[in-house]
A and B are shown apart, each in its own frame.
Chain A
């Protein structure tokens, strides 16, 4: 059972990391323009020096 002493903190840490990542994503505006992100992949990149 001593493995629990390792696994439970690990599970909690990973959960907290996920939560932290979500908070960061919201704060930095990752969800501001969901439709735009889907469309941008289709834009042909034209290099300026061409």
Chain B
């Protein structure tokens, strides 16, 4: 697919850069990006990774990253530098588990092949040989595939705790040891197949769990990286150089374009603009800023390009305080115990004492040590939490997959468990209940022709107001008019010619109270005012949450009157004027009163609350910090995924509990058989597979349950 590279430079002079391109949606986009970039002088090769929505470009050093972003923009794609993914560490773990699963699968199939012949009645010498071969396969396989369990069990024991991996490890090791002894003395019962099969099923559960996590995280990572990672610093010769946020220093002069977020605190030197500080404070009204005004990192420039002199960077910005609060708040979250580990706290001692008592019982009944030990191992193998190990991840993966289709990315299974317990929801206002983007307040001021002119003008610009206007007009079913000589003047607006008339979309000449633009057709001015509207289905979502017994409330940093108005409009309690630590204090207070609070917020000011809440969700347009602190991220304009998440999480926990009951029933049937010595390796293998199949198929029912939520 890559065009043959024009031989510009020796290959070793090329450097690699990575960009995220969220707009790639089809095969045509892959071809367009790869072909278009390869045609750019200086680009040696471009390769798209469609799943990750990334493109890797190999290019000569003289072609800057900004240059490539500009080329991508010309091709019609918005692109960002792909920063090191802070969530990408899970990939290595998934790979390790997958390799272990492959090895266990290989061992299981080969050992099963030999075991079936033994069960079918292979006689003395053949059986001994088959057991020996099984042992030769099983020992390296168990040593390799069992590592994730052994190391986790060791870790737990070292801290004098127990988790699911402790009974698993003990069961596998005892079964292997006994089978080895059996092989040496040419005995009839070897459990190599049971031990390896157990590892295979459990690894399958772990792999599912890890894949769910990394899929959601890579989805979230592709949303990241839009906010203030760096700035264009003006050089002495007047050119600009992109500088990472960490390398900014006081005294530098940043050129901040419209739509960009500030990477450091600073003082405006040149230009007048409007800044949106909703991410930082929750305030919804943009405020004007001119020479001499101080603006902070995290604010977004909505108006004209401005030059800003850095006064504080990196650790000294207003943002750093919020980061410190978040660190402290996040610590309570780590005390949560997953349901599988909770179950194993009861399960592991029960199973171990059962095995121990059957050993003692048989000894008392006059059996020899070897016989009693065989029985004890059979009990351990038959009760090993194979079904339990699959029960939780299988259900959670199905639920996470269903939610992902509806636009909600869940970071891990523990988030689903915590979501199911929620009994109260607190929302931030700006950017969470509202879209967080300016949209025209009333399109009625424009007639159909004016609308199509406005759309044609607006879609040529990346200015936030133009983008909001274009989106709203497209939603209203408008098609763009065809224009000639479309030009953009930074800080002024768009001009063009339409059938011999001058048309333009300009900023108002006099400063206005709110945000607005003027549409000019042959000198006739129409003013379009902008507002930040509520998401379309906020009311329905709050009602759906209430139907599930979850009360709602608003906590916002915006002005008290504005927040109260929204609260009255939606009929829920609302508190305004809160600073980040106020939100966190309120959460702590609610938690102390026994409530499990779901926090939904987007701004940097919500970061500590998101980290401190029982569970948290952030919208896709949220700041990077918030998306990383939250347990889940929802994309799109609709708010309903929040209510859906709670609903599906509860359905999931219902299925998980059913699975636990099924596993308990199976144990009640199988354990007496094992205790009284009727369990042979054949019965163990059948029971294990049957119970695993049962819980997995029960979990798959969840896809139907979650699928029905459409109607709700």
Contact = CB atoms under 8 A, between A and B. Distances in A.
B579 interface: no
Contacts of B110: 11-12, 15
Interface residues on B, range: 20 to 34
Contacts of A40: 1, 27, 30
Given A8-B133, A42-B27, A43-B27, A36 B50 contact: yes
Interface in A19-37: 19, 22-23, 26, 32-36
B30 A43 contact: yes
Given A11-B113, A44-B31, A33 B51 contact: yes
A42 B26 CA distance: 9
A26 B98 contact: yes
Interface residues of A, number: 26
Interface in B7-35: 26-28, 30-31, 35
Contacts of A34: 51
A39 B50 CA distance: 9
B102 interface: yes
B287 interface: no
A23 B99 contact: yes
A46 B106 contact: no
Contacts of B28: 42-43
A27 B133 CA distance: 29
Judged by DSSP, the binding face of A is: helix
A35 B51 contact: yes
A3 interface: no
B498 to A, nearest CB: 34
A48 B26 CA distance: 22
With most chain A CB atoms within 10 A of its CB, the pick from B3, B31, B103 is: B31
Nearest to A29: B49
Nearest to B91: A32
Given A32-B51, A35-B50, A15 B106 contact: yes
A19 B126 CA distance: 27
B668 interface: no
A39 B26 contact: yes
B133 A39 contact: no
A46 to B, nearest CB: 7
B47 to A, nearest CB: 9
Nearest to A16: B106
With most chain A CB atoms within 10 A of its CB, the pick from B26, B27, B103 is: B27
A6 B166 CA distance: 40
B186 to A, nearest CB: 18
Contact of A19 (B35, B49, B102, B113): B102
B219 to A, nearest CB: 12
A36 B35 contact: no
Contacts of A44: 31
B212 to A, nearest CB: 15
Nearest to A31: B98
Contacts of A33: 48-52
Contacts of B52: 32-33
Contacts of B48: 33, 36
B27 A39 contact: yes
A43 B50 CA distance: 13
B3 A48 contact: yes
A48 B1 CA distance: 11
B137 interface: yes
Contacts of B51: 32-36
With most chain A CB atoms within 10 A of its CB, the pick from B1, B103, B106, B126 is: B106
A44 to B, nearest CB: 7
A32 B52 CA distance: 9
Contact of A22 (B26, B35, B102): B102
B102 A15 contact: no
A35 B35 CA distance: 19
A28 B99 CA distance: 14
B95 interface: yes
A33 B31 CA distance: 15
Contacts of A48: 3-4
A16 to B, nearest CB: 7
Contacts of A46: 35
B184 interface: no
Contacts of B3: 48
The 9 closest A-B pairs by CB, nearest first: A36-B50, A42-B27, A39-B27, A43-B31, A33-B49, A35-B51, A19-B106, A33-B51, A35-B50
22 contacts: A8-B114, A11-B113, A15-B109, A16-B106, A19-B103, A26-B95, A32-B51, A33-B49, A33-B51, A33-B52, A35-B51, A36-B30, A36-B48, A36-B49, A39-B26, A39-B30, A39-B50, A42-B28, A43-B28, A43-B31, A44-B31, A48-B3
